Chains A and B, each alone.
Chain A
Amino acid sequence: MVIADVPTKIVYKRPSVLDPQVTHYCPGCTHGVAHRLVGEVLEEMNEVENTIGVASVGCSVFAYNYFNIDFVEASHGRAPAMATGIKRVLPDCTVFTYQGDGDLASIGMGEIVGAASRGEKITVIFINNANYGMTGGQMAPTTIPGQVTSSSPTGREVSRQGYPIQTAELLATLGGAVYVVRRSMHNAREIRRAKKAIRTAFEVQKHGLGFSLVELLSTCPTNWGMTPVEAREWIEERMMPVFPLGDYKVSSAVADLKF
C-alpha cells in the first residue's frame, strides 16, 4: 500500500536547546525528562540565549552536554553559591542550578539555605531520587525509612540513621524563597504539572521576585533495582507519602504573575 501526500504535522520534536547527544543516563531514569522540561520552558520563554546553567556533582554532573546554553560546573553542593556569584554580576541573565538530593540536601544544605534566605533571584531544579545515584546508590538525606541502599543494606533505620529531609517544606520557611513546590515525574499528568511549575519558577526569576525551587520526585531504576515501570510505581506508593506533592510557598506576588 502506498500512501501519498498525507499531510503531516509535527506534534513532538526535540527542543533545539537540547543537543542531540547520546544520553549517559540509565534506561528509565527521569533526568532526561527533567532536562527536556527545562529546555522547553527556556525556549518558550525565549530565554535560551540569555541563560547560564550551573551543573552540580552527581549523575547530572554532565548536564551541560545536553543543553545548548552557557554552563558552569560547580563543586559538590556549591551550585547555589556559584549561581549567586553569576546572578549578582549578570542580573539580566537567567541563572539556574540543576542539583540532585545528595548535592543539595546533604553537602550543599548550607549553600541552598543561604541562597534561599537571601532571596537570590535564581531558579533551582532539584532532583529527588532518594539516593546517591552517581556513586552507586548510597543512602541520601532523602532516603525514606526502611529503604534499602548500598550504605543502608538492612534498610534505613531512623533510630540509627535519622529521618529524611523534606527539602521543599524546609526551604519554604525562608523569607527570600517566594516559590517552592514539589512535583513528580512518575506519570504524564504529573510531568505536565512539573513543566508548569518549572515555567512558573523561571517566570519568578524573570520578574525579579526572589528565589524559586522546583523539587522533582524522580526515578533511579538502576540503583533501586527495579524496572522503569516499577520505579514509577515506587514513587507513587513509597515516596509520595514521605514527600507529598504540593505548593509549599507561593508568595502573593507569584500568585499574581501573568504569563
Chain B
Amino acid sequence: MTKEMIKGNTAVAEAAVRAGLQAYFGYPITPQTELLEHLSARMPELGRPFVQAESELGAINMVYGAACTGQRVMTSSSSPGVSLMMEGLSYIAGTEVPAVLVDVVRGGPGLGNIAPAQGDYNQIVHGGGHGDYHMIVLAPASVQEAIDMTVLSFDIAEKYRNIVTVLMDGSIGQMMEPAELPPMQPLKTETPDWAVRGTHGGEKRVLTSINLDPPAQELMNLRLLKRWQTVEANEVRYKSYYLDDAEYVVVGFGTAGRIALSAVRAAREKGIKVGLFRPITLAPFPNAILDDLTNEAKAFLVVEMNSGQMLEDVRLVVRGRKPVEFYGRVGGVVPFPDEILAEIENLVKGPLTTEGHPRDRWLSRLAATIG
C-alpha cells in the first residue's frame, strides 16, 4: 500500500470498512459528517447495512441492537450528538456488548461551534452516562493514527466486550494529510456465544442491562470493574518524545499534543531539556509511566484544548510532588506552537511552585494575553 492524501473523517470511515465493519448507524453533525457520507456510499456498495438514523438517540440504539448480534458495528458523531448518545452508551456498557464510537470533538458547551476542541474529555473518559462503567478511549494526533486506532478499536472492543471510543477533534477530522490505509480484511464469520440470533434449537439468550436484585447488580458491577483492571494492565498506550534526558515534561493528547511537539522541538533548539508525553489511551490513563516521569522531571506543563480536564488526572498521579503548570485554549481555539513555547520558557524561568492550582495561574496569564 502507498500513502495518499486523505481527510481524517474519510480515512476513519474507510479504515473501519477495511477493518470489517459490518454495520454503521449515524446522524449528520459537523465536523464529523464526511465520515457518515463516505459510509453512505461504501457500505451499500459492499452490501453492508448503513442507516442514517432519525437522531443520535436512534443511531446509538441501532448500534446497541446490532451489537447484541455480535457483529462489528460503530457510530460516529460530534460533541452535542455524543451527549445525546450517553444514555445508549450506558446501556451498551451495562449489557456488556462491544461497540465503537468516534467522537470528533467541537467547541462547547451547548451548541458551541464547529471548531476543533477537546472539551469532551470528561464526558468520554470519566463517564457521561449513568452508572459505573468505563469506555476505552483512544486519542489520535494524526490522520494516520486515526486510521490505525480505528482498526485497533474493533479488536479491543471485542476482546473485552467493551465500548471503545476514538476521541479525536475537529482538526483531525477535517484535515487532509498523507496516510496509508490498511488492506481490506474479510468480514467476521463466527458469532460469539452470547450474541442473539434466534434460539435455533438451543437455550434462549437474553441481553439486558436491568437487574432488580441489588446484590446481583453489585456482582455485575464488580465483574465490570475486574475486567477494567485487566484493561488497565494490558492496554495502556502512549508516545514519548525527547524524554530520555528531559528536565521538563509537556503532557498533551491529540492535536494539543501534536502542536506541543512543535513547541518542544523549538525549545530543544534553544537548548531546553524538554520532552513530550502524549497519552494515546486516555482511558486507561498511563498512570505508571507518568509516575516514573514524576521522579525524573523538574516540572510538568499540561497542554489541552479545554480548561484543564486531563490536567486533573495528571495531578492525581503527580500528587504535588513536582510543580505542574497548565496551558489551554478553549471554545474551539487552537493554540499556536509559539504560545506553548512561551509556556515552556516560563517553566524554565520559574518561579516554580507546588502550591495553589495551575488552572488559576493559567487564567491570570491568559487574561494578560486575550483580555
Interface residues of A (CB under 8 A from B): 48-52, 54-55, 61-62, 64, 67-75, 78, 81-86, 88-90, 93-94, 110-111, 113-114, 118
Contacts and interface: CB of A to CB of B under 8 A. Distances in A.
A86 B63 contact: no
B69 interface: yes
Contact of B206 (A51, A64, A75, A110): A64
Nearest to A120: B51
A86 B206 contact: no
Given A85-B64, A86-B69, A51 B198 contact: yes
Given A73-B209, A111-B61, A113-B54, A89 B198 contact: no
A52 B208 CA distance: 13
Interface in B19-48: 22-23, 25
A89 B66 contact: yes
B3 interface: no
B204 to A, nearest CB: 6
B287 interface: no
B76 to A, nearest CB: 15
B51 A70 contact: no
Contacts of B205: 70-71
A111 B69 contact: no
Contacts of B206: 64, 70-73
Interface of B: 22-23, 25, 49, 51, 53-55, 57-59, 61-69, 71, 73, 87-88, 91, 95, 196-201, 204-210
Given A85-B61, A111-B61, A90 B207 contact: no
Contacts of B61: 74-75, 78, 81-82, 85, 111
Nearest to B200: A49
Contact of B51 (A48, A88, A94, A113): A88
Contact of A70 (B22, B23, B53, B204): B204
Contacts of A52: 196-198
Given A70-B198, A81-B57, A88 B62 contact: yes
Given A85-B73, A110-B57, A111-B57, A48 B62 contact: no
Given A83-B65, A84-B25, 4 more contacts: A54-B65, A78-B61, A81-B65, A110-B55
A88 B54 contact: no
A176 to B, nearest CB: 12
A68 B53 contact: no
B43 to A, nearest CB: 10
Given A50-B198, A81-B57, A73 B62 contact: no
Contacts of A114: 53-55, 58
